[in-house]
Every structure is written in C-alpha cells, then in structure tokens.
A and B are shown apart, each in its own frame.
Chain A
Amino acid sequence: MITYELCLLLRVMPKPELTTTLKRAAEAIFEKGGIIRKLENLGTRDMPYKTSVHGAVHKKASYFLYEFNAPPSSLETLLDAYSRDVDIIRRQIYKKKAIEPFECTLNDEILPPAYRKDVQELISEARKLEKPKFSYNSGLDYYPFQK
C-alpha cells in the first residue's frame, strides 16, 4: 500500500468556507475507496509566485497537506476533480518517500582525482579502447607492419 501526500493550496477564505472545502477534498478521496491518515495545516502565507486560476489572480494561499492511501488508478481522476474545484489554487500528489539508510561518501569524493574510484573506472574504460601496439622488445629485428 502506497501512502500519498496531497499538497493543496486553497484560496484565502473565512473558516466555515475553508472547512467545507477541506471536507469536499476529503470526501473525494473517500469516494475513491481511500483512507486519510493525516491532515496538516501548513499555514496561510504569500505564495512564492502568483497564480491565476478560475479567472482570478491569487497571491496568498492556505497550505494544507493530506496523507492518504488510495488506489493508484484513482489519482488521475482525483486530481481532475480538484482541478475543477474553484477554491483550490494548486494541487500536487507525491508519494511519501521512505529512504533506505545510506553511508556518506564525501570522504571518497574529495580525494585527489587519481584516487577517486569513478575516475579510476573512467581511465580503465579509456584504456580498453586503445589499439594494440607493437612492442619493440619482442625479439623481431624488423618492424612487421607498414610504417
């Protein structure tokens, strides 16, 4: 089961209207057979860039975050439903990421180039392309190829 994050930018409006919009957005998820894990208010603030939707230019928005589970096939219709909602300025669905623990490789990356593993691999790759060369100490006392 994949957990998704839905970032909603809502038009600035009074509280009762805001709750109905949030409920509408939530019910759209429930209709698709999904469940909501979390609803977070990220605050109302100036948007980094102005957006014009539904015939109006918005410079401020209320940010909300839903965490939900829903069938992956329903995401497209969900976003389409939100795009027709007049109160929603912007919507985006991301997968909730789970990153496996990793080691910091900075120490190997700041070594001089000759000691770096990726550089050594590059050199060995380039060596493979080199044409075979005649070695003069092979016992032949003449050069066997055209000069």
Chain B
Amino acid sequence: MLTLLRKITPKPSLVSRVVTLQYSNDAPNFDMENPFEKEKKSCILCKNNIIPDYKNVKLISQFQSPYTGRIYGKHITGLCSTQQKLVEAEIVKAQTAGLMATYLKEPCYLGDPKLFNVDKPFRPHRF
C-alpha cells in the first residue's frame, strides 16, 4: 500500500516560487486596543471621590500611627502624591487646631478599619 502511494504523489518542483499572501476581506481588525491591558489603579480616596478635611478627624486619623502619632508615608498608605500631600497638611492643621492627638492615635479611633497593612507596604521601606 505504502509503495503504491509513493508512486502516485508527484514530486514538488525544485524551482522556487514567489508566494504572495493575501488576506481575505473578512480578516479580523487588529487595530483594537490591547485587550490584555490591566485596569488603571487609583488610590482609595480618589476611588471614593473623597477630599480630606481637617474637621473629619475620624478619616484622617486612619493615616496616623497608633504608636507614635506620626503620619504614615505614601509607600504604606498607597495614596497618590496629591492626596498624600493633602492628608499630611490636613493632619497638621487638625493637630494645631486641637482636634487631633499628636503623639498617639486617640483611643476612640483605634477600632477603625485598617485601610492598609503597615507590615506589607506598597513599596519597600527605606530602612
């Protein structure tokens, strides 16, 4: 059977041919946007459309350390630089106005939900 088939198949011509490829008209359109592009990330305050205010102590004290009262950096809070600057300014304003503690987080705010994990910063600590 095999020998019979071999005899039948014609030998390909040794002369090289220029093959011009042509796509049919119903080929898919590849000018579309990258379907695998990841979703654009935004920080938690921008996502919820919040602008920090010094009177809203419950909100801004979430960006304060309960141990030292200092403001967490943006590598921990995960805020964009604009929002981080606003939060830092509002915390200082609240502290000078006597609305917010300086060396600790007030005990009434200690049970608030955590917005970020201090031990797992978005970017590594510099120390």
Q: A99-B51, A105-B80, A106-B79 are in contact. Are A90 and B97 (CB under 8 A)?
A: yes
Identify the closest chain A residue to B78 (Cβ).
A106
Chain B's interface: helix, strand, loop or mixed, by majority? Answer: loop
* Size of A's binding interface in residues, CB under 8 A: 22
Q: A42-B55, A65-B55 are in contact. Are A106 and B41 (CB under 8 A)?
A: yes
A7 touches B99 (CB 8 A): yes
Identify the closest chain B residue to A6 (Cβ).
B97
A42, A102, A106, A107: most-surrounded residue (chain B CB, <10 A): A106
CB within 8 Å of B: which residues of A?
7, 9, 42, 47-49, 51, 61, 63, 65, 89-90, 92, 94, 99, 102, 104-107, 109-110
A-B residue pairs in contact (CB < 8 Å), sample of 10 = A7-B55, A42-B55, A48-B100, A92-B96, A94-B54, A104-B42, A104-B82, A105-B81, A106-B46, A109-B80
